[in-house]
Structure formats: structure tokens, C-alpha cells
Amino acid sequence: SDTAVAPGPNTASCTFRVNVSDIERPAITCPAPLNITTPSNGNSAIGSLTVRASDNYLISSLSCNVSSTPTGNSTFLTATITTSFTVGTTPITCTARDVNGLTATCSTSVLVRDVTPPVMQCSGTTLIMSASSNTSTYSPSPTTTIGYAVTATDNVAVASTVCTPSNTNLTYKFPVGTTSVTCIATDTSGRTSTCSLDIVVLDRTPPVVQCPTSTIAIGTNITANINITLPLLNATDNVKVTSTTLNITENNLPATTRALPGTTRSVIIAQQWPATVVFQAFDSSGNVGTCSFGISVYPASEASDTTPPSITHCPTPFLFGTIP
């Protein structure tokens, strides 16, 4: 109120109200973004931040979108955030409010990075190739021992495991010999690990060879050595026949052996001396298939002799005894 005084005894007065309004928002401060990494054996990390707020009059609350513990007095509050953050970026927003409902907001973030690559284990194996095919198919059947196994683990998560050559559908056929396999595991953060293994395919199946099943008998009027055309000798293999040989042994005195290429079709054999022919086929793994047959060369005059020998005289029975 106010009173006006004029000269003399006369006065006048009036009354008015002064309203004081709080229009100043609280002051709030968030820390700079926090960057942390996961431990090698975990998929999250502990982060700690402190948010501060004050007001020119009275502050009533300080809260954040993640768990926080505010402490302080009516004009100054501190919110401490200590919690576990998962891999990636977690945005944090905090709000301070005074008793008059005025608010202020600040924001920050926590970035958790996974710096640990996956852990891989590769194990190779040896496959025994079947006799019916020239390749071996990977099989994870528990009743077999063939195939290869790859495991990958990560402190967060494995996104993919890729091997070259790929065998996703379990249909890759490994050739004879050693195949090197390289596998790469990638986690959800793009970290990678690599391991290698060998698949060894062994061919233990010898070539299949075919020889005549009986002795080849040839009658001739030639009294010296003669040239004989051998029958076609066949050899097959589940992979590949690399070479063949002929070993011809003439059973005269002394016996002689000749080693010839397996493709030889014409050989010279001495009359009257039987010969043994051994045919061998070799594959790329060193397996050997063997078969043999005989050759008999005799005078042509004997070819028409179909009468077997006869015995014309045998001694009469007689008694052996001892003299008492």
C-alpha cells in the first residue's frame, strides 16, 4: 500500500499486490558420452555416470530413463547411474523438476563395444573312400567317423560360420588326397576368427584286373620261338589306373622273367617251355591289382593226339615180410 500526504491535514492512500513468479528452469548437466568395452567372457559391461541439477529456488526431483540414485538437498541434486549396459548404444535422458513444475532435460549415451573375436575349434579327419565311387561325401551321421567338425563360440553371439569349400548341404565330395578347409566365424560386432583343417581321403581299393581263367594252349609247327598275340587284358579302378605291367616268366632252365608294359599284345614264347604271365595294374594311390594265367606252346602234331597215355605193364603183387 501507499499513502499520499498533502500540505495540511488531508491524506489519501491505495493498496496493490506484488507477485513474484519463478520462471527460471532448473540447471542440469549430463556427462559426455561414455565408451566402454565388454570383458572377454561377458556380453555386457558396467558403466558409471553422474548427472547434476540445481535450481534458484527449490528443486523437487531428478530422474533418468535408466536406473539412478539421486542424492542432495532442496537446491542441488546428484543422480548416480551405475548399471550393466549391453553391447551397442544406450541413450540416456535425465529430467530435473523444481517445486514450481519447471523442468530441464539433458542427454548423453553409453556405447558398449565388443572387442573380443569368436573362439574357434576345427578338427579334421581321414576318410576311407568307397570302392564304388571316386569321391567321398561328407556325412555327419553318428554311426560314421567321416566328415569335419567346426565349433565357434563368442562372448556375445556368433552371427555366422562359413567354410571354404562350402559343405552347407553336406553334399561336397572330397577328392582323393588332402583338401584344406578354411573356416571363418563372425560375431554380431563383425569380429572374425579363422581356423583351418585338412580332410584326407585315402583310396585303399586296388584296381580290378581281368585275365583268362585257364591256360592258353597253342599248337604250332614252328620248332623255335613263336610270336603269340595275348588276349586283351582289362583293368579298371574307382579312381584311375595309372599304369599296367606284364611279367612273363618262362619256366625253362634257368627261369627268366621279362617285364613289359601292360599294353603289350604280342610276345615271343619258346616252344615246349610253359610260361606264366602276371598282369598288374597300379592306381594313383599305389594300390595294385594282380591276376595271372599260363601259356603252353607245343608241337602241332600233339594237338590231334586225344588218346591219353596207357600203362601196359604193372608188376604182380608181391609180399614183403621179415625173416624170423
Greater model confidence, 51 or 264: 51
> Measured between alpha carbons, how far is residue 180 from residues 1, 94, 196 in Å?
100, 56, 7
Q: What is the pLDDT of residue 306?
A: 54
Burial degree of 234 (CB within 10 A; 0-12, 13-18, 19+): middle
Give the residue among 180, 198, 199, 197 at the shortest CA–CA distance from 136: 199
Cβ atoms of 197 and 122 closer than 8 Å: yes
Cβ atoms of 13 and 62 closer than 8 Å: no
| pLDDT single digits (tens) 150-190 | 889 999 999 998 888 876 665 677 777 888 889 999 999 99
| pLDDT single digits (tens) 200-248 | 878 888 999 999 988 888 777 666 678 888 888 889 988 889 999 989 8
Greater model confidence, 253 or 311: 311
pTM value is 0.64
Give the residue among 120, 124, 121 at the shortest CA–CA distance from 192: 120
pLDDT, mean of residues 109-133: 82
Integer-rounded Cα Rg, in Å, for the chain is 51
Read off the C-alpha cell for 51: 548427472
Q: What is the pLDDT of residue 304?
A: 53
Q: How far apart are CA 214 and CA 202, in angstroms?
A: 34
Provide the pairing of β-strand 125-128 with 192-202.
parallel
Q: What is the pLDDT of residue 144?
A: 31
Provide the pairing of β-strand 256-261 with 266-269.
unpaired
Q: How far apart are CA 206 and CA 284, in angstroms?
A: 10
Q: How far apart are CA 241 and CA 235, in angstroms?
A: 7
Percent of the chain residues past pLDDT 70, beyond the cut:
79
